[in-house]
Amino acid sequence: MKLQSLQFDNRFAALSDIYYSRVRPTPLQAPVLTSFSRSAAELIDLDVDALRSAEFVAFINGDEDCAGADPLAMLYAGHQFGHYVQQLGDGRAILLAQVRNQRGESWDLQVKGGGKTPYSRDGDGRAVLRSTIREYLCSEAMHALGIPTTRALCVFSSPEDVYRERIETGALLVRMAPSHVRFGSFEVFYYRQQYEQLAPLADHVIDEHFPELVGNDDRYLRWLERVIDLTASLIAQWQAVGFAHGVMNTDNMSVLGLTLDYGPFGFLDQYDPEFICNHSDYQGRYAFAKQPSVALWNLSCFAQSILPLLSPEPEAAGEMALALLKTYQSRYDQYRDQQMANKLGLRTSETDDPELGRRLLLLMAKDQVDYTISFRSLSSFSPGSESDLRDQFRDRDAFDDWAKVYGARLQRENSDDHERRQAMDAVNPAIVLRNYLAQTAIAQAEAGDFSEVDHLMRALSRPYDNDADVLAYAGHPPDWADQISVSCSS
Q: Which of the residues are catalytic?
A: 251
Provide the 10 A C-beta neighbour count for residue 87. Answer: 15
Say which amino acid occupies 159: P
Contact 27, 57 (CB under 8 A): no
CA-closest candidate to residue 88, choices 156, 182, 3: 182
Say which amino acid occupies 304: Q
Torsions phi, psi for 93 (to 5 deg):
-115, 140
Tell me the helices (H) and strands (E) count for the chain, helix number first: 18, 12
Rounded Cα distance, 149 and 304, in Å: 25
Rounded Cα distance, 31 and 320, in Å: 51
- With the C-alpha atoms ordered 47, 51, 57, 59, is the resulting torsion angle positive or negative? positive
Q: Give, in degrees to the nearest 5, the angle at Cα 462 between 456 and 463.
A: 85
What does the CA dihedral 110, 115, 121, 122 come to, rounded to 10 degrees? 170
Contact 78, 56 (CB under 8 A): no
Helix (H, G, I), strand (E, B) or coil at 407: helix
Rounded Cα distance, 149 and 237, in Å: 11
What's the length of the chain? 490
Torsions phi, psi for 258 (to 5 deg):
-100, 150
Contact 363, 264 (CB under 8 A): no
CA-closest candidate to residue 306, choices 178, 180, 179, 206: 206
Rounded Cα distance, 25 and 71, in Å: 8
